[in-house]
């Protein structure tokens, strides 16, 4: 009898080119996404060594991190120059390197452009059972479709470009099981935050996660993308969802997904991609769906999670000394005091976007609350940044852009935007942002910026009230309005 | 990558402990598009201090750096190794290194040598006035004063550095194995290729 295997082990086994005596494996990479920040030195390395890209047909380049989210072309269709010379240089390098090495580039003003982790699934470039890499840690996102996807460094980017392989050691496996039904107003982002809060940012280190249980089975593909995206914030390089009917119907007809007979063969294979009965995980985390509520972060690590109805924790309440010191440092940085109610924390900025929460369902969830409402007077800037040109187009077709702009939001061009301080969208020092992104590190949204990670609906709620807010109250109100 | 067999020359008597990657190369250098040229940013903050070893003409162009415990800790940025390589450093000798840094250094053809603190102290002294000799084949660091320190190194890394073999070059040597895998995968999962037309 064949030994039962986990989903991860099945994908791993199918990609072993060579197994070395010390257990290291040469692993084949099916899909490689390239963006402008981590690729210039990799292409430079190839050029200096006189090497070429082995499989340009498995490689896709798209700029995202440095792009301003203001219009990129003037009325005549000419490029509007990028103010930051270093950003401009990284973007120009990608535009030079892609054609030189025969790699397909989605350009800065193409309709398909967007955040690399939004573009991959949307184009059908990401497929179940594939190995997918990108020089970016949030590559874990693509695990939502059942791809073994993980971030790599620049030398590894070069290695994949040149050889289409990586030298890797097999990871341990961890299942994250959430059974039951999510409560009213609880979203996939809240689930992701709950997991980070529960296991901590180092909890998944050395593991590949698999998300199992009824909550994940019932979750939409976009919700799964949000959860898989944050696997890395819980320390896991990859997080997997077994592909199912939802995955297949999401992918069917996407531009780069297989067609015709190839599609049928692919689906038949994808149906075998699940953890076998009796397969053993190295670690198991079980969370009851009923325990998950709308969450916010209070500190400068994604594990610093509390219910929105909760209070800022007292650093003294942490058991070990280094945690206590870190918590105090976080509170000083965040300008918060122990015991303060999270709902009393006022914000000046709202950011709806990033590879975590910039897809159409995210925008719909936020717009549903904002319809007919206006941002609070204390909000200095509220940004909505769709994850791709296609998301933007879809949202505009549904009239969501008008809901946002009428509510006082700025409707922007796709890109990483205020998720990290690499482009002009930043949160000023000392100011506070309710953000749908994935990292609340010190200085992440700009030097001195203070970030509270939330779901899109919670970001919309904070925009309306001007402070962190339990979205369930506003949803109840909405329900009331509809009935009345 | 250049072969690294014997490195002889002056050494920067640096000696600082817990040098993190921010000290090696500050974050504002991360927006570059080239591995070369980062030498200018190497130890930028320390070089603002008058009399620092890096700007002392006595040590200009030294291929060896002598450092303290836990060299290269902090972020995983590969720029730290690129900056050192660009500065002309071929060997870093310290009592310990961060794992990620020594991996990155190796990928960029830099040898990291771990020696006990007493040896470091002695080498710091010699480096003030005289050259140091590193022999990878023999796994020794020697001086003209009869000092002889033996060091350990992973055999695979040694093999790569001696032969000037970078990991990519080595993997490219297995092109046939990779090609055979591709042929097999194309039979089993034909829908995977091409990903982009
Ligand atoms: S949106 Fe943020 S987390 Fe995602 S790829 Fe861009 S910078 Fe990274």
Based on its alpha-carbon atoms, the radius of gyration of chain B, rounded to whole angstroms, reads 20
Q: Domain map of chain B by residue range?
A: 6-164
Contact criterion met (CB < 8 Å) for B171 and A165 = yes
Residue B35, pLDDT above cutoff 90: no
Please give the model's pTM, rounded to 2 decimal places: 0.90
User: Among all residues of chain A, which has the CA nearest to that of B35?
Assistant: A41
Pairing relation of β-strands A25-28 and A165-168? antiparallel
- Residue A356 CA to ligand 1 centre (angstroms): 8
- Determine the Cα–Cα distance for residues A79 and A425; give it in Å rounded to an integer: 19
CB contact under 8 A, B82 and A265: no
| Euclidean distance between CA atoms A193 and A459, whole angstroms | 14
Q: What is the mean pLDDT of residues A223-234?
A: 96
Average pLDDT taken over every residue of chain B: 93
- Residue A482's pLDDT is 65
A14: nearest Cα among A116, A127, A118: A127
| C-alpha span between A38 and A297 (Å, rounded) | 29
Mutate to test the pocket of ligand 1, among A116, A117, A426 (most ligand atoms within 8 A of CB): A117
Return the bridge partners of B112, or none: B92
A25 in a known ligand binding site: no
pLDDT averaged over every residue in chain A = 96
- Contact residues for B129 (Cβ-Cβ < 8 A; gap 6+): none
Smallest CA–CA distance, residue B89 to chain A, in Å, is 19
Among the atoms of ligand 1, which is closest to the Cα of residue A117?
5
Exposed, middle or buried: residue A158 (CB in 10 Å: 0-12, 13-18, 19+)?
buried
Domains present along chain A, CATH in parentheses: 7-170+244-268 (3.30.499.10), 172-241+275-291 (3.40.1060.10), 296-483 (3.30.499.10)
Q: Which residues of A are less than 8 Å from B157 in CB distance? A: none
pLDDT over 80 (residue A1): no
Cβ(B130)–Cβ(B143) below 8 Å: yes
Residue contact A26–B35, C-beta within 8 A: no
Nearest Cα of chain B lies from the Cα of A12 at a distance, in angstroms, of 13
Residue-wise pLDDT for A254-306, tens only, equals: 999 999 999 999 999 999 999 999 999 999 999 999 999 999 999 999 999 99
Q: Nearest to residue A384, comparing CAs of A407, A358, A348?
A: A358
> In this predicted structure, what is the pLDDT of residue B73?
84
Burial of A473 (0-12, 13-18, 19+ CB in 10 A): middle
B32 touches chain A (CB under 8 A): yes
Q: What's the CA-to-centroid distance between B168 and ligand 1, angstroms?
A: 28
pLDDT band at B143 (very low <50, low <70, confident <90, very high): very high
Q: CB distance B193–A57 less than 8 Å?
A: yes
CA distances from residue A71 to A8, A362, A413, B110 in whole angstroms, order as listed: 42, 22, 7, 44
For residue A64, report the distance from its CA to the centre of ligand 1, in Å: 8
Residue of B168, B193, B194 lying closest to A162 (CB–CB): B168
Cα dihedral B6, B10, B14, B20 sign = negative
Q: What is the Cα Rg of chain A in Å?
A: 22
Is B76 within 8 Å of B82 (Cβ atoms)?
Answer: no
What was the pLDDT predicted at B74?
73
CB contact at 8 A, A39 and A97: yes
What count of other Cβ atoms lies within 10 Å of the Cβ of residue A423? Answer: 22
Choose the closest CB to B185 out of A28, A86, A155: A28
Give bridge partners of residue A35 from the DSSP assignment: none
Instruction: Report the nearest-CA residue for atom 4 of ligand 1.
Output: A355
Find the DSSP H helices in chain B.
21-24, 79-87, 99-107, 117-127, 155-163, 167-172, 175-188
- pLDDT, mean of residues A245-253: 98
- A contacts of B190 (beta carbons < 8 Å): 262, 265
Note the pLDDT tens digit of each residue in A335-394. Answer: 999 999 999 999 999 999 999 999 999 999 999 999 999 999 999 999 999 999 999 999
Complex prediction ipTM: 0.93
**What are the b/e assignments for A284-312, b being 16+ CB within 10 Å?**
ebebebeebbbbbbbbbbbbbbbbbeebb
CB < 8 Å to B31, chain A: 86-87, 89-90, 422
- Percentage, residues of chain B above pLDDT 70: 99
- The closest alpha carbon to A177, from A207, A143, A212, A215, belongs to A212
Query: From the centroid of its chain, how far is CA B132?
Result: 17
* Lining residues, ligand 1, CB within 6 Å: A 64-65, 115, 117, 136, 138, 354-355, 416, 419-420, 437-438
Q: Note whether B191 contacts A104, CB cutoff 8 Å.
A: no
Contact B65, B19 (CB under 8 A): no
CA distance A415 to chain B (A): 17
Q: Give yes or no for a contact between A179 and A288, defined as CB atoms under 8 angstroms apart.
A: yes
Substitution target in B30, B31, B102, B187 with the highest count of A β-carbons within 10 Å is: B31
CA A467 to chain CA centroid, Å, is: 24
In this model, does residue A484 exceed pLDDT 60?
no
Question: Above 90 in pLDDT, residue B166?
Answer: no
Which has the higher per-residue pLDDT, A321 or A117? Answer: A117
- Kindly state the percentage of chain A with pLDDT values over 70: 99
Contacts of A21 (CB under 8 A, 6+ apart): none
With a cut of 70, say whether residue A432 has pLDDT above it.
yes
CATH number for the region B6-164 comes to: 3.20.19.10
- The proportion of chain A whose per-residue pLDDT surpasses 90, expressed as a percent, equals 90
pLDDT tens for each residue of A117-150: 999 999 999 999 999 999 998 999 999 999 999 9
């Amino acid at each position: 009898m064949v030994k039962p295997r986990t989903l991860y082990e099945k994908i791993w086994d199918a990609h072993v080119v060579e197994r070395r005596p010390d257990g290291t494996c040469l692993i084949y990479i099916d899909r490689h996404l390239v963006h402008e920040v981590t690729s210039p030195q990799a292409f430079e390395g190839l050029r200096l060594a006189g090497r070429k890209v082995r499989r340009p047909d498995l490689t896709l380049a798209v700029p995202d991190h440095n792009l301003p989210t203001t219009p990129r072309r003037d009325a005549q269709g000419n490029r509007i120059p990028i103010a930051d010379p270093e950003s401009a240089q990284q973007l120009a390098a990608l535009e030079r390197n892609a054609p030189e090495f025969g790699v397909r580039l989605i350009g800065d003003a193409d309709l398909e452009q967007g955040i690399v982790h939004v573009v991959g699934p949307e184009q059908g470039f990401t497929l179940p059972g594939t190995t997918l890499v990108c020089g970016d840690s949030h590559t874990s996102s693509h695990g939502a479709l059942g791809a073994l996807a993980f971030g790599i460094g620049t030398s590894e980017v070069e290695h994949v470009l040149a050889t289409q392989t990586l030298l890797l050691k097999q990871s341990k496996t961890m299942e994250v099981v959430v059974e039951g039904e999510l409560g009213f107003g609880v979203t996939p982002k809240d689930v992701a935050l709950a997991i980070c809060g529960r296991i901590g940012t180092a909890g998944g280190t050395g593991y590949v996660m698999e998300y199992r249980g009824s909550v994940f089975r019932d979750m939409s593909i976009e919700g799964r993308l949000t959860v898989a995206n944050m696997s890395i914030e819980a320390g896991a390089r990859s997080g997997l969802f077994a592909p199912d009917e939802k995955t297949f119907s999401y992918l069917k007809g996407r531009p780069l997904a297989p067609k015709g007979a190839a599609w049928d063969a692919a689906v038949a294979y994808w149906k075998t991609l699940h953890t076998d009965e009796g397969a053993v995980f190295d670690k198991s985390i079980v969370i009851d769906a009923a325990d998950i509520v709308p969450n916010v972060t209070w500190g400068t690590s994604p594990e610093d999670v509390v219910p929105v109805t909760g209070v800022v924790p007292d650093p003294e309440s942490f058991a070990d000394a280094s945690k206590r010191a870190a918590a105090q440092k976080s509170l000083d940085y965040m300008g918060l005091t122990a015991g303060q109610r999270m709902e009393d924390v006022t914000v000046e900025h709202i950011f709806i976007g990033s590879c975590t929460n910039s897809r159409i369902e995210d925008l719909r969830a936020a717009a549903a609350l904002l319809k007919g409402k206006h941002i609070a007077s204390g909000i200095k800037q509220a940004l909505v940044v769709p994850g791709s040109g296609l998301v933007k187009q879809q949202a505009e077709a549904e009239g969501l852009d008008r809901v946002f702009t009428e509510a006082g939001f700025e409707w922007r061009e796709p890109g990483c935007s205020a998720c990290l301080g690499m482009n002009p969208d930043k949160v000023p020092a000392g100011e506070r942002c309710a953000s749908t992104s994935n990292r609340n590190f010190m200085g992440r949204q700009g030097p001195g910026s203070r970030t509270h990670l939330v779901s899109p609906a919670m970001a919309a709620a904070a925009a309306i009230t001007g402070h962190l807010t339990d979205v369930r109250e506003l949803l109840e109100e909405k329900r009331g309005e509809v009935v009345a | 990558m250049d072969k690294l067999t014997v490195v002889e020359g002056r050494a920067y008597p640096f000696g600082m402990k817990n040098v993190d990657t921010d000290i090696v190369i500050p974050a504002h250098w991360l927006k570059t598009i080239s591995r070369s040229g980062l030498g200018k940013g190497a130890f930028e903050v320390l070089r603002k201090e008058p009399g620092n070893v890096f700007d002392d003409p006595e040590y200009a162009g030294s291929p060896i750096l002598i450092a303290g415990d836990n060299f290269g800790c902090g972020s995983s940025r590969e720029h730290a190794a690129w900056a050192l390589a660009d500065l002309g450093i071929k060997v870093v000798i310290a009592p310990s290194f961060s794992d990620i840094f020594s991996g990155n250094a190796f990928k960029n053809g830099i040898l990291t040598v771990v020696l006990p603190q007493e040896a470091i102290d002695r080498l710091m002294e010699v480096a003030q006035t005289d050259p140091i000799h590193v022999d990878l084949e023999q796994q020794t660091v020697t001086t003209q004063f009869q000092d002889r320190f033996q060091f350990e190194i992973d055999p695979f890394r040694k093999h790569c550095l001696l032969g000037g073999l970078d990991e990519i070059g080595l993997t490219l040597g297995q092109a046939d194995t990779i090609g055979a895998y591709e042929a097999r995968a194309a039979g089993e999962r034909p829908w995977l290729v091409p990903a982009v037309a």
